Amino acid sequence: MIRSASDAELDRLEQLWLHTAASAHPSLPQDYWRRRIRNFRRDCRRAVDCLVYLEGDGEPVSGFVTVTEGDRLGCICVSPLATGRGVGSELIDAAKRGRPQLQVEVLEENLGARYFLQQQGFVEVERRPDTEAGQVNIRMCCPAPP
């Protein structure tokens, strides 16, 4: 089941985001991500959409996606226990609904996300340096299906 996130779920979303981000970017220290927690919470509250995936009523959140202004995918995170079961694909499909396109930025070393996004129809459109992370930031775009 996919629905809008509630403020009461922010702690769970934060834990999931921190674990997912740190695991996907082994070259960046945990501190890099911890410094962004306040921004993460603010971005979730300001998001046009912050959607959560639950296996059923009363179950914990097993994934979430945020969409910000300008049809930008803020983040997509799936619990390791739910990975490979279509949760991410369902969240992306929900994020695409009613939008002409989605854009996302992903760091070059995040190969898992890049592969997943390509499977969802995203294509690379730009590369630029991210001096804070010391990596290349890749912008990807996905037009909505006809």
- CA torsion 73→2→63→110, rounded to 10°? -30
| Distances in whole angstroms, Cα of residue 49 to Cα of each of 7, 13, 24, 78, 90 | 13, 14, 23, 16, 14
CATH of the domain at 128: 3.40.630.30
In this predicted model, which residue has the larger pLDDT, 72 or 56? Answer: 72
pLDDT at 146: 62
Total domains in the fold of the chain? 1
Q: Are the C-beta atoms of 91 and 34 separated by less than 8 Å?
A: no
Q: What is the pLDDT of residues 71-87, one digit of tens each?
A: 999 999 999 888 889 99
pLDDT at 145: 65
* pLDDT surpasses 70 at 96: yes
pLDDT band (50, 70, 90) for residue 15 = very high
pTM for the model stands at 0.91
Give me the chain's average pLDDT, please: 92
> How many Å apart are CA 46 and CA 51, to the nearest integer?
13
> How many Å apart are CA 64 and CA 71, to the nearest integer?
16
In percent, the amount of the chain with pLDDT more than 70 equals 98
- Give the residue numbers spanning the domain of 93: 2-143
